Chains A and B, each alone.
Chain A
Amino acid sequence: MSVTNQTQSQAQPPTKNDTILLDVKGLKKYFPIQKGFLRRTVGYVKAVDDISFFVREGETLGVVGESGCGKSTAGRSIIRLYEPTAGQVSFKSQVLGSNGQTKTVNLLDLNAQEMKSVRQEISMIFQDPVNSLNPRMSVSDIIAEPMIIHGMKMGQDTEDIIVSLLERVGLRSDHLRRYPHEFSGGQRQRIGIARALSLNPSLVICDEPVSALDVSIQAQTLNLLQDLQKDFNLAYIFVAHDMSVVEHISDRVAVMYVGKIVEMAETDALFTNPLHPYTEALLSSVPKPDPLYKPHRIMMQGEVADPSNPPSGCYFHPRCRYAQDLCKEKSPEFRQIKHDHWTACHFAGELKLEGI
């Protein structure tokens, strides 16, 4: 692989194909709640509760939703940093194929060796840059580590790759010998990004990858991610809270609420014509960089739902301003309302919801 001699590509509509790279079906991750001296299991936190989605080659799927709704857990379950409770995660793998042919595998069936190989193809940028950076390793070692784990020898070549990665994320080569604590929050986040890109993955799970960056470096980083996407046909799962960033980078967006996907659509459709009341409420709270702007925020009444003891029917009903009796009783099906526009709301399409 070589990140060294990529061409800076000009703005062009990206050519996306329809090949599905990752197909997640019925993914669940429940954390046991243990109590007492004997650590008896008294219940479960249903952090991810039966979600299904796919990601095409070279495409970006944005994921947004309430803090604590299971976005990070979903990301970690896909690459089995958490062992999922149930589900299927089909992935089109190069390394597990033979004779240049790809092979579609269920990641949840792979043994440790196979999983290790696949981790070259799926990498993750972690939400908390500090947690993922070993404080005793220099920046150079941190970025080189995945390459070494996968059998590359340190030498001039790897050194060059590391330097060019650092430069592409806006750090300097004189940073190589420094340690993570010597950097600011945003600089550490960029070290995590460089590391995730070092193995030439085909899918990168980006968990809040630009949240610690100032808007200019954020812009550079988003441009970089888009360039790499075009040059290497990379796919991203892009988890973020900043809706303008998500809108900018994503082809499609999934909205999660208490462990479930409640809406999924092409970016434009989702932002301009949301079909789920939670999406509408979320969009109404987006702050704008304009001191004179007065948002018409939709206040969600009631308590934030608890994933260990979710409400009956539609999980959002206690906070939904459109809720009817049906919503308390019956859980809505996740269904397609318009072309490529899915949602789980009994009254989807009947409600007139406000977008951006």
Chain B
Amino acid sequence: MSEPLIEIKDLRVEFNVREGIVKAVDGFNLTINRGETVGVIGESGCGKSVTARAILNMVPKPGKVTSGEILYYRRSKENPSDGQSRTTDVLDLTKLDPDGETIRQVRGGEIGMIFQEPMSSLTPVYSVGTLINEAVSLHRLSPVKRVGAQITETIQTHRRVTKAEGRQIAIEMLRKVGIPKPNERVDSYPHQLSGGQRQRVMIAIALSCEPVMLIADEPTTALDVSIEAQILDIMRELQESSDMAILFITHNLGVVANMAHEIVVMYMGKAVERAKVQDLFYQPQHPYTRSLLQSIPKLGQKKSGERLASIAGSVPDPFHLPPGCVFHPRCPAFMPGRCDTITPQWTQVGDDHWASCLLYEEAGK
């Protein structure tokens, strides 16, 4: 039953900055199946958002996809009930013209995206002259337009509805995501909403087109836990009713534990571990994953003044990457002579469970 929807193969994205080249994504592989949720977790700056943007062919400048492919198994739109078998095209999203017709149908229509920091565009100074390449305005809230109009426009771009119907859907979506008085709030400007309300408007936009895949980059960070739970329910319902796949990027391990079927852990642009959600939390294999899990403050165990465990050292300088395994300078299981010389390979460490760590290479062979 697992039918691949997106296959990321050996993706590399580089940023050419003054001091040299940052390899933001450095040989990343991932398959996302229809109807499944893949969680992506990992160090801040490890390339999660850049990967997500690469799927939509929206890598910010001066970033470039330097190699690899992102295959999208796109079903033809024909009605499945008319007896004809459905055809599936395979599109390499990285090869599409970023301003072309096809990618515009995909973006926001077939693949919906909730961006981290939906409010960034609200500062006038930010939208002028920054280098962030916003290929389409529909993924950012425009400060000068009412939120209802912004949702309606997206709906109309991707669904055949009238303006009035679009507005009605917009109000319904705002209600679903828990905005009070949606029929009045539909006419607010973004600055009149709280951080979490703006984030929910973005969620409403992303879900209003009934996408086959939702890319959710920190979708609920600005929300209180009860609205968060409600939004996650909406996502799960949509997933069940329409077989929507979700790429769920988050730092909130509580949320990802409850949402994801499978989890990928990233470090410095690479996947370092991948497993079914239960295995990842109960049998983490990579030392980085283990350390991450240990850094979470545990609820209900407050000790005054207690310090949290964190990973020693800091992320390496991207221009002078350590040899061997890039995690070795911070790794509690560091094996001198091996980890600092040999680059670990992607190794199977259990059922559907993979890691790249020298601890497992012999065992795996």
Interface residues of A (CB under 8 A from B): 11-14, 31, 45, 64-68, 72, 127-131, 134-136, 170, 172, 174, 177-178, 181-187, 208, 211-220, 222-223, 226, 241-245, 247-248, 267-268, 271-272, 281-282, 285-293, 295, 297, 300, 303-309, 356
* Residue from A174, A213, A245, A300 within 8 A of B226 (CB atoms): A300
Verify A289–B253 contact, CB threshold 8 A. yes
Contact status A212-B226, CB under 8 Å: no
Are A281 and B257 in touch, CB under 8 angstroms? no
Give the contacting residue for A291; candidates B42, B224, B278; CB below 8 A. Answer: B278
22 chain-A/chain-B pairs, Cβ below 8 angstroms = A68-B194, A72-B195, A131-B123, A174-B317, A181-B130, A181-B131, A182-B17, A208-B221, A212-B251, A214-B41, A219-B308, A219-B309, A243-B299, A247-B300, A247-B302, A248-B302, A271-B299, A286-B299, A288-B299, A291-B258, A303-B181, A308-B181
Shortest Cβ distance from residue A355 to the other chain B in the assembled complex, whole angstroms: 8
Q: With A128-B120, A214-B251, A268-B302 given, is the CB distance from A135 to B43 under 8 Å?
A: no
Which residue in chain A gives the minimum CB-CB distance to B126? A135
- Of the candidates A172, A216, A217, A226, the one having the most CB atoms from chain B within 10 angstroms of its own CB is A216
B358 CB, nearest partner CB in chain A, Å: 21
- Contact of A287 with B196 in the complex, beta carbons under 8 Å: no
User: Assuming A128-B195, A216-B310, is B180 touching A271 (CB within 8 A)?
Assistant: no
Residues from chain B with Cβ under 8 Å of A185 in the complex? 44, 49, 116-117, 218
A68, closest chain B residue (CB) = B194
Closest approach, in angstroms, between the C-beta of A212 and any C-beta of chain B? 7
B-side interface size class: 35 or more
Min Cβ gap B150→A in Å is 18
Give the 8 A-B residue pairs with the shortest CB-CB distance, closest first: A67-B196, A186-B44, A287-B254, A219-B308, A219-B310, A248-B297, A306-B180, A289-B253
B221-234 contact mask (Cβ, 8 Å, vs A): 1 or 0: 11111111100000
Q: Are A287 and B228 in contact (CB under 8 A)?
A: yes
Do A290 and B218 have beta carbons less than 8 Å apart? no
Q: In the bound complex, what is the Cα–Cα distance between A134 and B130 (angstroms)?
A: 10
- 1/0 per residue, CB under 8 A from A, across B189-227: the answer is 000111111011000000000000000001001111111
Question: CB-nearest residue of chain B relative to A294?
Answer: B258
Contact A208-B195, Cβ < 8 Å, known A12-B305, A184-B45: yes
Complex-state Cα separation, A45 to B191, whole angstroms: 13
> Bound complex: CA of A172 vs CA of B311, how far in Å?
16
Contact B302 A131 (CB under 8 A): no
Tell me which residues from 1 to 47 in chain B have a Cβ below 8 Å from any Cβ of chain A: 15, 17-19, 41-45
Complex alpha-carbon distance, A68 and B132, angstroms: 28
Indicate if the CB atoms of A289 and B222 lie closer than 8 Å.
no
Q: Does B331 interact with chain A (Cβ within 8 Å)?
A: no
**CA A295 to CA B197, docked complex, whole Å:** 25
Q: If A177-B18, A241-B222 touch, does A67 touch B43 (CB 8 Å cutoff)?
A: no
CA distance A58 to B314 in the complex (A): 28
- B116-135 interface (Cβ within 8 A of A): 116-117, 119-120, 122-123, 125-126, 129-132
Chain A min CB distance to B143 (Å): 11
The reply to whether A244 and B297 contact each other, CB–CB distance below 8 Å, is: yes
For the complex, what is the distance from the CA of A170 to the CA of B45, rounded to whole Å?
Answer: 12
Complex: chain A residue closest to B130, CB-CB = A135
Q: A138: shortest Cβ distance to chain B, in Å?
A: 11
Shortest Cβ distance from A248 into B: residue: B297
Question: Shortest CB–CB separation between residue B185 and chain A, in angstroms?
Answer: 8
Q: Which residues of A contact B123 (CB under 8 A)?
A: 130-131
Interchain CB contact (< 8 A) of A172 among B42, B226, B314: B314
A268, A281, A303: which has the most chain B beta carbons within 10 Å?
A303
B68 is an interface residue with CB less than 8 A from chain A = no
| Cross-chain contact B117 with A130 (CB below 8 angstroms) | yes
4 more contacts with CB within 8 A, not counting A170-B315, A248-B306, are: A31-B192, A130-B123, A218-B308, A303-B180
Whether a CB of chain A sits under 8 angstroms from the CB of B326 is no
Known contacts A182-B15, A271-B302, A304-B178, A292 near B278 by CB under 8 Å: yes
A279 and B60 CA atoms in complex are apart in Å by 41
Contact B197 A68 (CB under 8 A): yes
B298 within 8 A of A: yes
Residues in A neighbouring B45, C-beta threshold 8 A: 183-184, 186-187
| Contact with B222, one of A130, A181, A211, A217 (Cβ below 8 angstroms) | A211
- Could you tell me the distance between the alpha carbons of A53 and B58 in the complex, rounded to whole angstroms? 46
How far is A306 from B181 in the complex, measured between Cα atoms in Å?
A: 7
Question: Taking each of A127, A215, A245, which has the highest tally of chain B beta carbons within 10 Å of its own beta carbon?
Answer: A215
Please tell me which one of the listed residues B17, B125, B254, B277 contacts residue A135 in the complex, with CB atoms under 8 A apart.
Answer: B125
By beta carbon, the residue of chain A nearest B320 is A174
CB closest chain-B residue, reference A288: B254
**Interfacial chain B residues near A267, Cβ < 8 Å:** 302
Kindly report which residue of chain B lies nearest to residue A222, judged by CB atoms: B308
The reply on B242 being an interface residue by CB < 8 A is no
What 1/0 mask marks residues of chain B from 242 to 275 whose CB sits below 8 Å from any chain A CB? 0000000001111101100000000000000000
Question: By the criterion CB–CB under 8 Å, are B257 and A288 in contact?
Answer: yes
